[in-house]
Amino acid sequence: MYRYVYILVGQSHLMPSKQRGEELRKIIKSVRDGTFEYKSKEPATTDWAQYDQAQVYEMVYYPDNIRDLVDEADERIKQRTPPRKRGPGRPPTDPANVAKVLLLQTYVNSSNRLAEGFLILFLEKLGIDGHFSYKTIERGYDKGQVNKILDEIVVITNESVEGKEKTFSFDGTGFSTSNKENYADKRQKQNSKKGSKKSKSASKEQVYDSFPESNSVAKKGFSYSVMGIGVQHKLISGISISPDHSIGETTMFPEAFNQTLDCHPNLDGVLGDGIYACRWIINLVSENNSTPHFLPRSNVTFKSKGALEWYDMLYSLWEDPLEWLEHYHMRSISETVNSMVKCRFGAPLRKRLESRKKTETQLKLVGHNIRRVGYLEIMGDVVPHWRGGM
pLDDT tens for 328-371 read 999 999 999 999 999 999 899 999 899 999 999 999 999 999 99
Higher pLDDT, 245 or 195: 245
pLDDT of residue 209: 66
pLDDT score of 2? 35
Rounded Cα distance, 367 and 340, in Å = 11
In whole angstroms, what is the distance from residue 161 CA to residue 168 CA? 12
State the average pLDDT over residues 284-303. Answer: 93
Name the residue among 272, 274, 263, 256 with its Cα closest to residue 233: 263
pLDDT at 207: 44
Secondary structure (3-state) at 241 = strand
Nearest to 285 by CA among 202, 242, 228, 233: 228
Predicted pLDDT at 10 = 45
Q: What is the mean pLDDT of residues 212-220?
A: 60
Q: What percent of the chain has pLDDT over 70?
A: 85
Where does the chain hold its CATH 3.30.420 domain(s)?
A: 19-32+163-187+219-359
pTM, 2 dp: 0.86
pLDDT for res 366: 98
Q: Looking at residue 192, what is its pLDDT? A: 60
Q: How far apart are CA 145 and CA 159, in angstroms?
A: 21
Q: Phi and psi of 375, rounded to 5°?
A: -65, -45
The answer, yes or no, to whether residue 208 has pLDDT greater than 70, is: no
Report residue 210's pLDDT band, with 50, 70 and 90 as the boundaries.
low
CA distance 105 to 82: 31
3-state secondary structure (DSSP) of residue 230:
strand
Q: What is the mean pLDDT of residues 23-33?
A: 93
Cα distance between residue 307 and residue 302, in whole Å: 10
The torsion angle over the Cα atoms of residues 57, 62, 65 and 70, rounded to 10 degrees, is: 180
Identify the CATH class of 19-32+163-187+219-359.
alpha beta
